[in-house]
Amino acid sequence: MGAGTSRTGAAPAGANQSTDAAVSPDSAAQSDKGCRWFGEYVEQSWSTRQVVNDIIKVQTAQERCCYLDLLEPVEVGAPLLYIIHTWDRPFHKMIKVLSKGLALAYPDLPEEQMFVWIDVFAVRQWGPALGPDDLLNLRTAISSCQGAVLCLDTAAAALTRSW
């Protein structure tokens, strides 16, 4: 199975793929376990930007949907944490730090209940730039989380842009 390939190869029943919004109002998130599974298929040196361009956009090209729409319903859930990061850092480092941090911060929470909102999975990577509805939906996504994680490097690159 290639990176980002759904276990079924198709979007789950009921997946909202017809919307013009890039950010879904449903505030869905991918499981931490799913992020680690996805990361197993990514080259260690790849930046998140490379992951989006070479894997996520390839996997979602036919449906022009967000990556989450390709996953099994059990792999998608309400977000526990909203993840803020830069696309120019190694994808693997972000996933590794998140997994370790989640295990430490939530030692009693079952792995199946750990869902994180990461833009590359939750936002449709096709179409025009984000519009007013997307910003409202983004606010909803952030509000639905229990907290946020800011992934910073020595250059604090994640702080140089906002949606």
Domain enclosing residue 37, as ranges: 29-160
HSE toward the beta carbon, residue 149, CA cutoff 13 A: 22
Average pLDDT over residues 99-108: 91
pLDDT digits (tens, 9 = 90+) for 49-88: 999 999 999 999 999 888 999 998 888 999 999 998 989 9
The pTM for the full model equals: 0.77
> Is residue 14 assigned to a domain?
no
- Collect all residues with Cβ–Cβ distance below 8 Å to 95 and sequence separation of at least 6: 35, 36, 38, 39
Residue 119: count other Cβ atoms within 10 Å of its Cβ: 20
The encoded tokens of residue 101 equal 């941090």
pLDDT at 95: 92
Query: Could you give the number of structural domains in the chain?
Result: 1
> Is residue 113 assigned to a domain?
yes
> Is residue 24 assigned to a domain?
no
pLDDT at 54: 95
> Is residue 132 assigned to a domain?
yes
pLDDT digits (tens, 9 = 90+) for 29-60: 888 888 888 888 899 999 999 999 999 999 99
> Is residue 49 assigned to a domain?
yes
Question: Residue 61 and residue 93: Cα distance in Å, rounded?
Answer: 26
